[in-house]
Amino acid sequence: MLTEILNASRIRVWVVESPVPWSEGVKLFKKEMEPALKTQKKAGLLKSYKVVQTGPNSGLNILEYETKAKMNKVIKATLATRESVGDQMGGPQMWVYTGQVKTSG
């Protein structure tokens, strides 16, 4: 059962590297982006999200969705907020990986 659930999930990972310290980026994330993500989660479109620091100026935003259709709705709904946060962070470099969760073992 768990394998079926995990195989049905979609993960989108944003790799972020910014000229501002990670602590400043997280403050901005919590102020601007987190409310938008909470709204999407409450609407049932976003399954979960997590922010992870990977370096002094870099980190990952990991978002999980039940379906690709829900993922696309969240991406469209949060576009303006994501662009605003990026502009306020001084134009960070961002890479995105989207894919289906695979279980092993």
> What are the structural domain ranges in the chain?
2-99
Task: Work out the number of other CB atoms within 10 angstroms of the CB of residue 14.
Answer: 17
* pLDDT confidence of residue 4: 47
Per-residue pLDDT in tens (0 to 9) along the chain, 105 residues: 444 444 557 888 888 888 888 898 889 889 988 999 999 999 999 999 999 999 998 888 899 998 889 988 998 888 888 778 777 777 766 666 666 656 554
Query: What pTM, to 2 d.p., does this model score?
Result: 0.76
**How high is the pLDDT of residue 46?**
94
Cross-strand pairs, 17: 58, 93
User: Is CATH 3.50.50.60 what the domain over 2-99 is classified as, yes or no?
Assistant: no
50-72 per-residue burial string, b: 16 or more CB within 10 A, e: under 16: ebeeeeebbbebebbbeeeebbe
Phi, psi (rounded to 5 degrees) for 38: -65, -40
Instruction: For residue 17, give the nearest of 9, 5, 25 by alpha carbon.
Output: 25
